[in-house]
Amino acid sequence: MSALAPLPGYNHDLPFRGGRFHLQTEALVSSGKVESVLFCRGAVVCRRLIVYAAGDSSDRVVEMMKSQHMEMMRALKKGEFKKEIDALRES
């Protein structure tokens, strides 16, 4: 696999249900993956990984990062992580 040069990631702080969440998305260029992690008070709420092809361009990987990041923001706002959030709040 030909590694891409490091790519800038996406980071957002998101208020939701009385809490503050942090969403981070980055390209793990050494392993050919795009990772998005949603945190609440430093704990991982959810992690999503997608694999990109060895021949994918930087532009393609950036588009994958942006798409996955936006999808995670929408999922949070739609309440798709309610079970995970409630479990963290109970611990």
pLDDT for 33-72, tens place per residue?
999 999 999 999 999 999 999 889 999 999 999 999 999 9
pTM: 0.88
Q: What are 4-35's pLDDT values in tens digits?
A: 778 899 999 999 888 899 999 999 988 999 99
Distance CA(83)–CA(27), nearest Å, equals 27
| Residue 79 pLDDT > 70 | yes
Distance CA(65)–CA(87), nearest Å, equals 27
Q: What share of the chain is helix, strand, coil (3-state, %, to 5)?
A: 30, 35, 30
| Residue 1 pLDDT > 60 | no
Burial class (CB in 10 A: 0-12, 13-18, 19+), 74: exposed
